[in-house]
Every structure is written in structure tokens, then in C-alpha cells.
Copies of this chain bind each other. A is one copy, B any other.
């Protein structure tokens, strides 16, 4: 994976890459006093790329953001939480355009250089007086210091418990380049960009096509390999902005340091994706599923996602039950080629199935392992060389509690 090609910046944030500032505040969309409006602003036009939810019903802000991204550059992203502005019809679209135009005016940039993102309840109109007053308060709060990023990170959360960020530096042509990211979960998370927003900033010099391709490939291996509950939302998007202020030779796959850059970029996205899975609604465990020996990587991905999406597997992990029968049942219903006689399964270090036959194992050791914070499930199919990793979380009483009472 090339994880030695970059250095982790523990204290880095989305404003660590050169050229970025961020802000966040409470404008009144959330019932609590938590932040619910934020922005990232770049001091120069940034090369930008995005991937969006595959849901047929796409929220109004996605339409507006697609328009802004048409020329491949952005100066600012304005984000609200507490209201998804989805299924809100013409008024919702107008509101998203208004968010864009007011943010552009406040930040002194072109409207077409502003992206808009929203997350929260579906089907209710935004309280635009609050949003507009909030946007007016953003410029004075923009900061290139840690506090700006922290305020932004707070502003994008819904039922998330913790902020999710990651930052690395990588050497490109002898110049230090920084890549950072921030994201929110945490329900409706599934492969294909479920209710999640992700923002990646970098000061790398990179062409739009290269950035878009890297973002798409990376999303498929990271954000699209996590699931909390199998639902995908109307609002998800992942946006990357590259300010170019690091000032090296333009990156492309032909650049000698491309692999280093790509691996750092992927690391940031993987950390964010894993953080979303770990903070899934009600989660008490991060579950990591590795599938090896499938016929193709795509087969391995489909099988890994089926295991990580199984309510029975997720409940078993919550109960610290080494119930490999549910794992193999999930493998068998993924709809991909599997030899029913050659499957090995390990739960952490403990082998529970070899060549599709149960292995006697120490139940106490399994219980102790399953009570840890992270649970690894490894499935070897022995039919090819395809592999994949997926991340998810356990299914708990709290997931039900949170989702039985979210809207009311």
C-alpha cells in the first residue's frame, strides 16, 4: 500500500495544506447549540474534484455543486447540518442557489466557485433566514489555524460522536506536500457514498483529470467499502480541493512521486472511512473484513461488503459471539463464485474454519478477542487472487434507539 511513502501529521487539519481557511458556527438549524454551518475557503482557485451519491433522489445542494464543479475548480465549500435540503422541490433548489450566492458574496468569490453541501433531516425546507445570517457570520471566523478546522469539523456532524480528520505530508520533487481530510458519518452509511460528507484539501499541484481519477479510485477502496446499515443517502459527496501552493512540478500518474502522493491521499481517505465506520450509529466495535483468494477484486469486494452488511454478523460481534456460521452464510449469499469446500475463516488470530470445516477453538480466547475495540474477520477463498477490505460496525441497542427516534 506504500504506507511508508508519506508521514502522518497527527496535529494536521484541513487548513494545514497551504491556502486553506475554515470556519464553523451555530446558525440555528440544529435543536442543540452545536455548530451547524461551516465553510472551507481557498485563497486561490483550487483544482477540484468530487464524487456523489448514487441515490436516484439527489438533494438540491448536489445539483448546485455539480454545476459549480463543471469547470473543475472551486474557491469555497459551504456546508450545513441539521437539514438535508432533500425532497424539497423547487424551493429547495432555490435555497441551495441562495446558499451559494450568499456565500460567494461573503467570501468575495465567483458563485460558480462555491460548492454547497447539506446533511440532516430529509423533506423539510431550510430556515433560510438563519442560514443567511449564519453565512454572514462566516468570513469573520475564517481561520487558517487549528480552531478554524475544529469549528468546521463540528459544523458537519449529525449523530456523529467524534470528529473525523486525518493529515499526511509527502515529498513531491523534494517539496513537502500536505494532504488533509475531514468527514462526517454516521447513519445511512453504505458502499456508494451513504450519508456522509468528506472533504480533502491539499496544496499539491495536480491536474483536474488526475485529481478526479484519483478521487474516484480512492473512494472505491475506502468510503465505498464501509457500511453502517446498508442505507445510502440522498446527500453524500466527497470533494477534493488542491490549491497548488506547494509549487512543485504538476502531479500526474507519470510523475515519479505519484505513487507516494496517491498512497498518502488514499491513507487520508482510508482513515476517514474507518473513523466513520468506527463511529457508526450506536457502534461499540470497528469491524474490518479482509477477503482474499477470490476470483477477482470485484468478487472480493462484493463478498466483503455482504459480510460487513450482515445484521446477524453485526449482532454477533456486539454480543462477542464467534458465530462463524453467520459469516459463511453471508459469504454464500453474496452472489459471487465461491468454492463451498475451500473456505478458511479467522476471527482475529483465531482460526474457526479451515477448508470449510469447523476448527475446535478456545471459546474464552475468542470471547476475549471479541471484547476488544476492533474485530478483524479474515476470509480466504482459495480460488484466485482477488482481495478486498471492508469496514463496518456492530449492530447494537443504541443503533435501534437512535434510529427509532431520530426525526421526532
Contact = CB atoms under 8 A, between A and B. Distances in A.
Please provide the 7 A-B residue pairs with the shortest distance between their CB atoms, ordered closest to farther.
A122-B325, A319-B404, A315-B403, A56-B332, A57-B332, A55-B332, A229-B311
A316 B58 CA distance: 21
Nearest to A401: B397
A26 B251 CA distance: 71
A229 B123 contact: no
Given A124-B358, A340-B57, A234 B329 contact: yes
Q: Which of A312, A331, A358, A399 has the most CB of B within 10 A?
A: A312
Interface in A343-365: 353, 356-358
Interface string A39-62: 000000000000000111110000
A127 interface: no
B231 A326 contact: yes
Interface in A327-342: 328-333, 338, 340
Contacts of A325: 84, 86-87, 121-123, 234, 407
Contact of A331 (B56, B229, B407): B56
A329 B231 CA distance: 8
A400 B396 contact: yes
A312 B188 contact: yes
A333 B55 contact: yes
Given A404-B318, A404-B321, A406-B323, A87 B333 contact: no
Interface in A4-46: none
A329 B229 contact: no
Interface size, A (range)? 35 or more
Interface in A385-406: 395-397, 399-406
A65 interface: no
Given A56-B332, A231-B311, A332-B57, A403 B316 contact: yes
Contact of A316 (B329, B332, B404): B404
A231 B310 contact: yes
B89 A356 contact: yes
A333 B395 CA distance: 21
A187 B407 CA distance: 28
Contacts of A56: 331-333, 338, 340
Nearest to A355: B89
A369 interface: no
Contact of A333 (B54, B121, B321, B330): B54
A333 B232 contact: yes
A293 interface: no
13 contacts: A56-B331, A57-B356, A88-B358, A122-B326, A188-B326, A230-B309, A230-B311, A234-B325, A234-B329, A311-B395, A311-B403, A319-B406, A321-B408
